[in-house]
Amino acid sequence: MAQFEFVAWLVKWILEQETFEFDWDHGNSTKSLQKHAFNSESAEQVFINKDLLVPLGIQISPEANEPRFGAPGTDF
């Protein structure tokens, strides 16, 4: 399971952004829905809708070759 380090500067940075561009590769565009019952559009709302902003973190384990961000949530 991935581990994240939650950081206040990330929330501040997100609040300062006017737009976001999401890059979902084919594997990730369907994996979240199959594995977590959470589609990519719903995941994007954490970044787009400032009212939904929650503590965010950067993935620290397992190591990845790209920045990965996470937010706490619950399974439905």
Residue-wise pLDDT for 23-65, tens only, equals: 888 777 788 788 878 788 887 877 776 665 666 778 889 888 8
Could you give the CA distance from residue 63 to residue 15 in angstroms, rounded to a whole number?
Answer: 26
CA angle 36, 12, 61 (to 5 degrees): 40
Question: Which has the higher per-residue pLDDT, 1 or 51?
Answer: 1
Query: Mean pLDDT over residues 5-13, rounded?
Result: 75
b/e map 50-65, b = 16+ CB within 10 Å: eeeeeebbebeeeeee
Contacts of 2 (CB under 8 A, 6+ apart): 59, 61, 62, 68, 70
Q: In this predicted structure, what is the pLDDT of residue 76? A: 43
The pLDDT, as a whole number, for residue 69 is 79
